[in-house]
């Protein structure tokens, strides 16, 4: 088990800076998810921790020891690859026991560890098969078995579920969560899927364009996004962001509608209002802050998604629990929940949240 | 395949295959036919598909009364030597081209491509001068050196494409599992490259086995002659001993065929399937 620290870690390919001054402390036993759009550097960061990619600058420490120049084999870290990377010419048992074979551990111990791991992952009946005779989910399990058999200091996962179909993905996600509970090991997990991030992580690291945008628990990121990028990246459906003019205890839309946000901090004129679809109430047209015309209404059973168009503001999505009897063309009163509204300054950074002004 | 087979299409398909096969294999057949035809019938029954009499005399005299066995041994030595050395060099170079980035890589590849563009005839004279200057005329080693030099570029590209086909993830997984780069190469990559090595060995072996031009230029002594040069000794000033020549040709096919039977199981594709999600 290990505590992992990144201090001002940089990565450059030639003149292209891929990662800038990444600082991150990962506690022993913590489940960290690196999340961000493709090209944000999350996989590169993971590969640098694994030792498969050289670190251009900064320090990378495991349990206080600098590991920048230590070879992958000596870092004692296991990794599950997106492609699984099973050895095609070895059967399942040998695939899982390969690391022990290389370390020349006694065969009897290897066999018993393989057996135990196969039991844990439900692979007992498949140990003599070659990878090509396995389904995608089974291959995924073998890849995890290969990692857990070593009892490494930390586990790395590089988008391990992205090649599975939706149902299997949910199942394997639960399995990974269970594995983490059982082993209590430090795990670093890369994904672009925010559901995986929100469900698995103790803390999420949001990356964009080579910079860490925010580090926090799933709820922190959802409730207090540090900037517009995080606000829009975390949460589904995406947060509505509309341009407004700031004022004293209220914001104005372009056509003059006034949204009362009594606890609004004193902010500059040109700001943006961020509000999640689930934080807009549908009320009588005479009572709301805004009036939206329903464009498309999606009835999902458990929820209703209403895509409205607000004059002078543009599209605004509303999501309500249960079934709302609205249909396309309806005029709806929309009330912004002031305690859940976010204000973003011109640089995209979140201004103090409205709620924090209350106390 | 679940679509119902159309008889006309099936017949057409087999007819086309048959036509191609007979076209491709007919010269081989003719070789065999003349080899077993008695000398006196070669001209009288010239165009018959099968001779009225059948004999192994040609084979007997080729093996026991000519230097055929010596040619054969020389060819085997040169071809196996060339195949082994070339494949070894090509495998190393192909791996480097496939996996590493280094200064001058593109230049090196370009130079190797350029070497493939010259017609052999252009460089025969300089090669002769070089080999003669080194005092290596009439030596089988000189042939191995020259053949290796000529086959390495193509063999390297061949091996590189095989290495390219093996996902990099496999090596990285092996290194995470505790392998050094060399161990990863030896334990994981090498077993998966066997088809590539087989194909390269086979290709280079056949190329060296049937090479005539350089062997003709560099070898003049009877005891160092390779098989294709030796075949020419069946052509005398006044006659061509067709029967013996063809019999020798048939025998020369044997090692090539054996070699391919031996390596064909490594040529089976799909060895890497199941490694990574397709």
pLDDT at A355: 47
Contact A133 B271 (CB under 8 A): no
Tell me the residue length of chain A. Answer: 359
A274, A240 Cβ separation under 8 angstroms = yes
Answer whether residue B277 is part of any domain.
no
pLDDT at A297: 94
| Per-residue exposure over A262-295, b if at least 16 CB sit within 10 Å of its own CB, e if not | ebbeebeeebbbbbbbbbbbbeeeeebbbebebe
Contact A73 B192 (CB under 8 A): no
Residue B199 sits in the same domain as residue B184: yes
Residue B212 sits in the same domain as residue B115: yes
The number of beta carbons lying within 10 Å of the beta carbon of residue B28 is: 12
* Residue A92 confidence (pLDDT) above 90: yes
Nearest CB to A98 within list B169, B177, B272: B177
* Residue A352 confidence (pLDDT) above 80: no
Answer whether residue B278 is part of any domain.
no
Average pLDDT over residues B221-249: 85
Average pLDDT over residues A283-292: 89
Contacts of A134 in chain B (CB under 8 A): 274
pLDDT at B273: 46
Residue B104 sits in the same domain as residue B237: yes
Residue B156 sits in the same domain as residue B121: yes
pLDDT at B5: 66
Nearest CB to A73 within list B179, B191, B276: B179
Q: How far is CA B149 from CA A286, B82, B94, B144, B168, in A?
A: 89, 9, 15, 8, 29
Structural domains of chain B, count:
2
Rg for chain B, CA atoms, rounded? 24
Domains of chain A (ranges, CATH numbers): 4-228 (3.40.50.300), 243-357 (2.40.50.140)
Average pLDDT over residues A141-162: 92
A228, A345 Cβ separation under 8 angstroms = no
Average pLDDT over residues A88-113: 94
Mind listing the pLDDT tens digit for each residue in B31-66?
998 888 888 887 777 677 887 888 888 898 888 888
Contacts of A99 in chain B (CB under 8 A): 177-178
- For residue A352, count CB atoms less than 10 angstroms from its CB and return exposed for 0-12, middle for 13-18, buried for 19 or more: middle
Contacts of A103 in chain B (CB under 8 A): 178
* Ordered strands of the A303-310 beta sheet: A280-283, A331-336, A290-299, A303-310, A314-321
Contact A87 B175 (CB under 8 A): no
Residue B158 sits in the same domain as residue B252: yes
pLDDT bracket for residue A112 (50, 70, 90): very high
Residue B187 sits in the same domain as residue B244: yes
Contacts of A83 in chain B (CB under 8 A): 167, 169, 275-277
pLDDT bracket for residue A173 (50, 70, 90): very high
Contacts of B167 in chain A (CB under 8 A): 83, 85
Contacts of A79 in chain B (CB under 8 A): 172-173, 176
A76-85, A99-108, A298-307, B193-202: least confident range = B193-202
Answer whether residue B165 is part of any domain.
yes
pLDDT at A347: 87
Answer whether residue B6 is part of any domain.
no
Contact B273 A88 (CB under 8 A): yes
* Residue B270 confidence (pLDDT) above 50: no
Mind listing the pLDDT tens digit for each residue in A306-351?
999 998 888 999 999 998 888 899 999 999 998 888 888 888 888 8
| A98 has a chain B CB within 8 A of its CB | yes
State the Cα–Cα distance between residues B93 and B250, nearest whole angstrom: 36
* Candidates A71, A83, A157, partner chain B, best to mutate (most B CBs within 10 A): A83
pLDDT at B271: 46
CATH code, B220: 1.10.3720.10
Answer whether residue B216 is part of any domain.
yes
Average pLDDT over residues A158-173: 90
* Residue A234 confidence (pLDDT) above 70: yes
* Residue B263 confidence (pLDDT) above 80: no
pLDDT at A236: 85
Residue B73 sits in the same domain as residue B170: yes
In chain B, pLDDT over 90 holds for what percent of residues? 42
CA distance B94 to chain A (A): 21
Mean of pLDDT over chain A: 90
Nearest CB to A84 within list B175, B183, B276: B276
- For residue A28, count CB atoms less than 10 angstroms from its CB and return exposed for 0-12, middle for 13-18, buried for 19 or more: middle
Residue of B nearest to A86 (CA): B275
Name the DSSP class of B224: G
Average pLDDT over residues A68-76: 92
Listed residues B55, B73, B89: the one ending a domain:
B55
In chain A, pLDDT over 90 holds for what percent of residues? 69
State the Cα–Cα distance between residues A17 and A40, nearest whole angstrom: 11
Q: How many helices (H) and strands (E) does chain A have?
A: 8, 20
Residue B49 sits in the same domain as residue B72: no
Contact B174 A83 (CB under 8 A): no
| A88 has a chain B CB within 8 A of its CB | yes
* Residue B82 confidence (pLDDT) above 70: yes
pLDDT bracket for residue A300 (50, 70, 90): very high
Contact B175 A84 (CB under 8 A): no
Residue B139 sits in the same domain as residue B156: yes
Residue B212 sits in the same domain as residue B79: yes
Average pLDDT over residues B208-231: 89
Answer whether residue B3 is part of any domain.
no
Average pLDDT over residues B155-183: 92
Contact A139 B274 (CB under 8 A): yes
Average pLDDT over residues A242-266: 80
Boundaries of domain holding B18: 11-55
pLDDT at B277: 46
Q: Which residue has the higher pLDDT, B257 or B74?
A: B74
pLDDT at B2: 53
Nearest CB to B173 within list A81, A132, A134: A81
pLDDT bracket for residue B3 (50, 70, 90): low
Answer whether residue B227 is part of any domain.
yes
Answer whether residue B4 is part of any domain.
no
Residue B232 sits in the same domain as residue B166: yes
Size of interface A-B (CB pairs under 8 A): 83
Q: How far is CA B239 from CA A210, B38, B64, B71, B245, in A?
A: 81, 16, 20, 21, 12
pLDDT at B269: 54
**Which of A:134-163 have CB within 8 Å of B?**
134, 136, 139, 146, 150, 163
* Residue A357 confidence (pLDDT) above 70: no
Residue B171 sits in the same domain as residue B86: yes
């Amino acid at each position: 088990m290990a505590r992992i620290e990144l201090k001002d870690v940089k990565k450059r390919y030639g003149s292209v800076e891929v990662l800038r001054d990444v600082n991150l402390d990962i506690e022993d036993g913590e489940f960290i998810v690196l999340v961000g759009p493709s090209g944000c550097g999350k996989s590169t960061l993971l590969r640098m921790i694994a030792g498969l990619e050289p670190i251009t600058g900064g320090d990378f420490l495991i349990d206080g020891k600098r590991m920048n120049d230590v070879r992958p084999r000596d870092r004692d870290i296991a990794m599950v690859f997106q492609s699984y990377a099973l050895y095609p010419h070895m059967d399942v048992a040998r695939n899982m026991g390969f690391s022990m074979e290389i370390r020349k551990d006694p065969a009897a111990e290897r066999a018993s560890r393989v057996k135990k791991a196969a039991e844990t992952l439900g692979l007992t009946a498949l140990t003599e098969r070659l990878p090509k005779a396995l389904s995608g989910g089974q291959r995924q399990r073998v890849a995890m078995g290969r990692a857990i058999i070593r009892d490494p200091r930390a586990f790395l996962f590089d988008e391990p579920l992205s090649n599975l179909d939706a149902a299997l993905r949910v199942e394997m996600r639960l399995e990974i969560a269970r594995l983490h509970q059982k082993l209590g090991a430090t795990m670093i997990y890369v994904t672009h899927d925010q559901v995986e991030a929100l469900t698995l992580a103790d803390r999420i690291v949001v990356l964009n364009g080579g910079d860490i945008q925010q580090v926090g628990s799933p709820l922190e990121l959802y409730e207090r996004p540090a900037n517009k990028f995080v606000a829009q990246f975390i949460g589904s459906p995406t947060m509505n962001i509309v341009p407004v003019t700031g004022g004293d205890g209220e914001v104005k839309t372009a056509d003059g509608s006034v949204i009362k946000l009594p606890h609004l901090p004193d902010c500059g004129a040109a700001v943006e209002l961020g509000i999640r679809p689930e934080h807009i109430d549908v009320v009588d047209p005479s009572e709301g802050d805004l009036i939206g015309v329903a464009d498309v209404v999606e009835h999902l059973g458990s929820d209703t998604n209403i895509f409205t168009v607000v004059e002078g503001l543009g599209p605004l999505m509303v999501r309500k629990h249960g079934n709302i009897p609205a249909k396309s063309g309806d005029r709806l009163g929309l009330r912004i929940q002031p305690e859940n509204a976010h204000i973003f300054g011109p640089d995209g950074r979140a201004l103090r949240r409205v709620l924090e002004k209350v106390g | 395949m679940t679509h119902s087979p159309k008889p006309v299409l099936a017949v057409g398909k087999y007819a086309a295959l048959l036509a191609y096969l007979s076209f491709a294999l007919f010269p081989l057949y003719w070789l065999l036919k003349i080899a077993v035809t008695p000398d006196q019938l070669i001209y009288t029954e010239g165009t018959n598909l099968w001779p009225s009499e059948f004999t192994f005399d040609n084979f007997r005299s080729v093996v026991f009364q000519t230097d055929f066995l010596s040619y054969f041994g020389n060819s085997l030595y040169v071809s196996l030597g060339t195949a082994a050395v070339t494949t070894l060099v090509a495998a190393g170079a192909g791996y480097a081209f496939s996996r590493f980035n280094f200064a001058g890589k593109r230049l090196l590849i370009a130079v190797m491509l350029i070497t493939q563009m010259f017609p052999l005839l252009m460089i025969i004279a300089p090669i002769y001068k070089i080999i003669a200057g080194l005092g290596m005329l009439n030596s089988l080693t000189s042939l191995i050196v020259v053949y290796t030099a000529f086959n390495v570029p193509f063999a390297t590209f061949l091996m590189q494409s095989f290495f390219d086909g093996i996902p990099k993830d496999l090596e990285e997984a092996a290194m995470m599992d505790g392998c050094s780069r060399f161990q990863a190469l030896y334990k994981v990559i090498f077993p998966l490259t066997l088809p590539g090595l087989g194909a390269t060995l086979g290709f280079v072996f056949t190329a060296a086995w049937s090479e005539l031009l350089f062997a003709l230029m560099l070898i003049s002594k009877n005891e160092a002659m390779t098989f294709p040069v030796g075949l020419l000794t069946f052509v005398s000033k006044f006659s061509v001993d067709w029967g013996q020549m063809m019999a020798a040709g048939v025998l020369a096919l044997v090692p090539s065929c054996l070699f391919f039977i031996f390596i064909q199981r490594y040529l089976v594709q799909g060895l890497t399937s199941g490694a990574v999600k397709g």
